[in-house]
Amino acid sequence: MVKEFEGRTEKEAIDKAVEALGLNRDEFDVEIVEAQKSGFLFKKGKVVIRVHVDDEDLPPEKKGPENDFEHAIVDFVENVIAKMGYPGTVSISFREDKKIGLRIDSEHSSILIGRKGKNLDAIQLLANVVAGKLTNDEMRVVIDSENYRSRREQNLIRMARKIGEQVRRTKGSRLLEPMNPFERRLIHTALNDFEDVDTKSEGEGLYKQVRIYYRGVDRDK
């Protein structure tokens, strides 16, 4: 996707692009289309930029709640983050069978996400406990902010395959950082086609570690 944005300075034009696209500055490329310096008297500066971004990098479209369950779960999450001292707005990002996505927009997003997404995971856990009490349909709630989960997913897959290659070369093993169940499944799946490398989860509790190790034989034999 390509879009153009205008500002009095390059920074102002880029800030407009960040706000409109809902992305971080390092998630899109910028091309200067036009640059006019400010004049001595009344002439204002003008900068036009052209932004290049992959459609898959764009955050999900925001939607409003459509039924009592959606209103209740959106209100719950908004109340939670407000009581944490980091208020924001919550909207529906997607609807699937037995699963619904919520998007948090807040100027405190980095805090709400937390280190390695742990604050986001905690809010999501609370939301799923409440969802279980609101409906008998076993609805799963996925909470995201600033497209963090998608970016984290891509980074984990790249990391898994890179470490898989290292393990294959050294014929050793690597123990990764503690991860939640969804992230661990990503690692296991990302290395399914590495016939001489295998993975296993180690540890106790919600956040376990994945060990990537060399096995040196075909799994089917």
The answer to whether residue 149 scores a pLDDT higher than 80 is yes
pLDDT at 87: 93
Over range 163-187, report the average pLDDT. 91
Q: What percent of the chain clears pLDDT 70, i.e. is strictly above it?
A: 89
Global pTM value = 0.62
* Tokens 């999900």, residue located: 60
Q: What is the pLDDT of residue 219?
A: 45
Pairing relationship of beta strands 29-36 and 46-52 according to DSSP bridges: antiparallel
Per-residue model confidence (pLDDT) at position 191: 92
**Local confidence band at 13 (pLDDT 50, 70, 90 cut-offs):** confident
Chain CA centroid to CA 152, Å: 5
Angle between helices 118-134 and 68-83 in degrees, nearest 10: 140
Q: Provide the 10 A C-beta neighbour count for residue 184.
A: 20
Count Cα atoms within 13 angstroms, Cβ side, for 35.
Answer: 8
Sheet strands (E) in 83-190: 89-96, 99-105, 140-144, 173-175
85-120: pLDDT as tens digits: 999 999 999 998 889 999 999 989 999 999 888 899
pLDDT of 192-209, one tens digit each? 989 899 999 999 888 899
Across the range 153-158, mean pLDDT stands at 90
Residues in the chain: 221
Is the pLDDT reported for residue 39 higher than 60? no
What's the rounded Cα separation, in Å, for the pair 66 and 92? 9
Look up residue 67 and give its two tokens.
């039924």
For residue 221, the model assigns a pLDDT of 40
Terminal alpha carbon distance of the chain: 47
Distance between CA atoms of 56 and 1, rounded to whole angstroms? 10
In this prediction, residue 216 carries a pLDDT of 72
Rounded to whole angstroms, the Cα distance separating 87 from 77 reads 10
Task: Output the six-digit token pair for 24.
Answer: 């971080």
**61 pLDDT above the threshold of 70:** no
Q: Is the pLDDT of residue 220 over 70?
A: no
- Residues 128-160 as b or e (16 or more Cβ within 10 Å = b): bebbeeeeeeebebbbbbbbbbeebeeebeeeb
Interatomic CA distance for residues 129 and 141, integer angstroms = 9
